[in-house]
Structure 1
């Protein structure tokens, strides 16, 4: 049975949608960022402050490799996980990759009161940062994904249902058996 792996930018709804999907398909849910924090015993902001983004990305690669060994799970990855070629290969080989696409405007709405995302904390302009990240990362999300779902105008539970329908349509299988 294959994993279902959610990728996409911050605030696309990966964690919330992943939890709905896990419940609907009766699978364990993992968030790679939460697992990194749990294993390290510290939060991601601290890792970024002390080890920098490069240090965090190394931890992220190791965690995604560990999580990809579990089957069948629903895995939500961090927005920047896609930057690593190793991660892209791992997730493609170990599951059905679903890109949860969202607009910069929706990201701004969803993160306006957020204090936990290290990349946003030091940004002079959140909008410019998110636009820059979208230019860099959206092509990587698109080229890695087996399925792309737009999340902007849907409630998380409805997106989970759209994912199940897309898997059924694309792979001609019941997602419970995938």
Structure 2
């Protein structure tokens, strides 16, 4: 691979799960930017949001993303809000191919509703907040290089297989999967 493949999309879309399977099949490194942020800060994203606020978190996110994208080429999973920042979109475009994992609200809600680790969903109406975020972010996510429609009934393996087939059709130099 000559460029990173950067997974973008809403929380619960499968960026980490599908991205790590893609990396395994392509024999390239997988990096989850949120995990890298947590490691660098020695605290959870929720704790960072609570202590320092979202603006501080977004600055750290941009720094970590820059470090990752200037490193060895691989598959990168980003947090749901990373693509919303113009500086991150520019950085991703300069170093990689953006792939939007497009997922419907019902599937996203099913995947995230039991998790208390989503700071943006700590509201009186978390499902309504998720719907609003999806409506706001969808048009910006649609600017990605590739839109991959994630299906609720796909296994991780099936989704990765479909994504590889789609990437082969749009990226002439996409590597063979062994």
TM-score of the superposed pair, with normalisation by structure 2: 0.94
Please list the CA deviations of residues 100-123 of structure 1 after superposition, one character each: whole Å capped at 9, or x if unmatched: 011111111001210111111x21
Q: Is residue 2:170 matched to residue 1:162?
A: no
Q: Supply the distance in 2 between the matched residues of 1:4 and 1:37 (Cα, whole angstroms).
A: 21
Aligned to 2:9: 8
Following the alignment from structure 2 to structure 1, what is the Cα–Cα distance between the partners of residues 106 and 175?
31
Establish whether residue 53 from structure 1 lines up as the match of residue 54 from structure 2. yes
Does the CA-based 8 Å contact 1:167-1:173 persist in structure 2?
no
Q: In the TM superposition, what is the alpha-carbon distance from 1:152 to its structure 2 partner?
A: 2.6
Return 5+ residue gaps in structure 1 as ranges: none
In structure 2, the gaps of 5 or more residues are none
Residue 107 of structure 1 is matched in structure 2 by 108
Looking at structure 2, the residues matched to 81 and 108 of structure 1 have their Cα atoms a distance apart, in angstroms, of 20
> For 1:137, what is the secondary structure of its paired residue?
helix
Paired residues of 1:18 and 1:75 also in contact (CA < 8 A): yes
Q: Is 1:152 the counterpart of 2:148 in the alignment? A: no
CA RMSD of aligned residues (A): 1.3
Equivalent position of 1:29 in the other structure:
30
1:147 CA drift (Å): 1.0
* Regions of 4+ moved over 6 Å: none
TM-score, scaled relative to structure 1:
0.94
